[in-house]
Amino acid sequence: MTAPIPAHIIKQHLIDPEICIRCNTCEEACPVDAITHDSNNYVVNVDICQSCQACIMPCPTGAIDNWRQVMSDRAYTLEEQFGWNELPDAQEFSEAQAASAATLPASSLASVDGDADGDLDGVASTSAGASIPPWSAAHPYLNLYTHKNPVKATVVGNYRVTDDDTESDIRHIVLDFGDQPFPVLEGQSIAIFPPGVDGAGRPYHARQYSIASPRDGERPSYNNLSLTVKRVTTDYDGKPVLGAASNYLCDLKKNDTVQVIGPFGSTFLMPDHEDANLIMICTGTGSAPMRAMTERCRRRLKTQAFKGRLMLFFGARTERELPYFGPLMSLPKDFIDINLALSRSAATPKRYVQDLIRERAGDVMTLLESSKTCIYVCGLKGMEVGVIDALREVVSQHGKQWADVHEELRTQGRLHFETY
Ligand code: A2P
């Protein structure tokens, strides 16, 4: 029997609940499932975290990059962290305490218990997407405005982009920043604070939305941007629930103001070389970044600065519930190859985006074989597995190994997911 190791100072990894926008990126990035969440907070399990830092870079806000020195036998529990509205103050340690033990990462707790070897070799990230942008992506501005200094934007438009008599109320909301700098790139997101408090009396967290307009503005050379927001009226189980943030945004009127933080996102960015190809795969409001990228290419086409190919797979219940259906269908066929997957249309059999990827296998493979092609997937979480499976089939039908192609796409920053 080994003697117990005396308590010592550890560096505990924590998430700042004030800044966190609950985007789930850290939970997805953690290779050892140390990060979890409840309806209030995202938290780190000190018994599992190995301080590998895989979650640090992908976090859009920096909320993830917080560390506290604590005694190993008094590390913050999950229950404590779930209840926080802000991080606890840093603890003071006497010189003697500090001198008696070196500061160790939190994972040393697990080693004390003998249930982790601390060896990170062979731990692969579970994320299917790349953690770097394509080589030619423009450099993004990040976190110019935080929860401590949000910027006020004015609503200059709020238009429904699905048919009025359908269940899906999806809005195109245009925000103007006036003279305040808010530089963005296609694929980035912002977050908005809904006013008011939740059932427990806490102010609502900021909610994240992808930007639907290109870098030079919804209206070219205006300091504005657009969002695609769906009014949430049910929870995941179909029970009636009014989403606080989405209903607030969908009800905004012209000249209302909103509190914005961001911009966020340093990897889901489009290539800037003129002959790059984009395969865009989305469902519903996941079309926002695809609209931004498509419009960027359309504007560049006018000055012969875009020579690539665009292929879009877009899933919606029906044509009438597909946001931006009219403007999308009026884009020239030789500019963008549009594939609509309708799941509840009376006129056509049920289709998901992954079905259409299979149907267009030959053309998808032609694009995949080019190192100039980047793939973007945005929308429902459930489609992630389906899309990967479809791409695997396409690749293997053409005599290649998905593992090899996938690795190349990831290491070259050419495959990106944003799902929710
Ligand atoms: P479904 O009719 O089965 O719900 P929503 O309107 O809810 O935002 O969904 C957008 C589209 O995504 C709908 O056509 C929906 O089909 C479809 N969808 C739902 N689950 C998946 C999935 N796992 N993979 C791909 N598409 C999906």
Condensed to tens digits (0 to 9), the pLDDT of residues 18-45 reads 888 888 889 988 889 999 999 889 999 9
| Residues making up the chain, counted from first to last | 420
3-class secondary-structure state, position 282? strand
Closest CA relative to residue 414, chosen from 204, 256, 268: 268
Domain boundaries, the chain: 9-112, 151-264, 277-419
- State in Å: Cα 380 to ligand 1 middle: 7
CB of 203 closer than 6 angstroms to any ligand 1 atom: no
Taking CA 91 as the corner, what is the angle to CA 88 and CA 97, rounded to the nearest 5 degrees? 155
Whole-number average pLDDT of the chain: 89
The per-residue pLDDT for 32 is 92
- The mean-pLDDT minimum among 69-73, 253-257, 292-296, 311-315 falls in 69-73
Residue 170 Cβ inside 6 Å of ligand 1? The answer reads no
- Please give the model's pTM, rounded to 2 decimal places: 0.83
Is the CB of 168 within 6 Å of ligand 1? yes
* Structure confidence at residue 34 (pLDDT): 95
Test site for ligand 1: of 231, 317, 387, most ligand atoms within 8 A of the Cβ: 317
359 class by beta-carbon count within 10 Å (0-12 exposed, 13-18 middle, 19+ buried): middle
- Does the beta carbon of 166 sit less than 6 angstroms from any atom of ligand 1? no
pLDDT of residue 124: 25
- Give the integer Cα–Cα distance in Å for 408 and 23: 26
Confirm or reject: Cβ of 419 under 6 Å from ligand 1.
no
- Residue 382 Cβ inside 6 Å of ligand 1? The answer reads yes
Which residue has the CA at smallest separation from atom 10 of ligand 1?
A: 316
> Average pLDDT, stretch 373-400?
97
pLDDT score of 112 more than 70: no
Ligand 1 atom closest to residue 386's alpha carbon, by position in its atom list:
24
The pLDDT of residue 183: 98
Which atom number of ligand 1 is nearest to the Cα of residue 350?
2
Question: Which tokens is 158 given?
Answer: 């709020």
pLDDT beyond 50 at 14: yes
Token couple for 215: 């870098």
Give the span between the Cα atoms of 117 and 258, in whole angstroms.
Answer: 49
For the residues 406-411, what does the mean pLDDT come to?
97
- What distance in angstroms lies between residue 349's CA and the mean position of ligand 1's atoms? 14
- Say if residue 400's pLDDT is above 50: yes
Q: What is the pLDDT of residues 182-213, one digit of tens each?
A: 999 999 999 999 999 988 888 898 999 999 99
Q: Which CATH architecture has domain 277-419?
A: 3-Layer(aba) Sandwich (3.40)
**pLDDT band of 62, cuts 50, 70, 90:** confident
Distance 416 CA to ligand 1 centre (A): 19
Query: Which tens digits make up the pLDDT trace of 160-188?
Result: 999 999 999 999 999 999 999 999 999 99
Task: Specify the fold of 9-112.
Answer: Alpha-Beta Plaits (3.30.70)
Say whether pLDDT at 102 is over 90: no
Amino acid 123: pLDDT = 23
- pLDDT over 90 percentage in the chain: 73
By most ligand atoms within 8 Å of CB, the mutation choice from 322, 344, 380, 387 for ligand 1 is: 380
Q: How far apart are CA 395 and CA 172, in angstroms?
A: 36
> What's the CA gap between 223 and 178, in Å, rounded?
6
Q: What DSSP string describes 86-105?
A: SPPPPPP--HHHHHHS--EE
CATH superfamily of 151-264: Translation factors (2.40.30.10)
Distance from Cα 285 to the centre of ligand 1, integer Å: 11
pLDDT, position 127? 66
pLDDT of residue 120: 25
Tens-place pLDDT, residues 263-322: 999 999 999 999 999 999 999 999 999 999 999 999 999 999 999 999 999 999 999 999
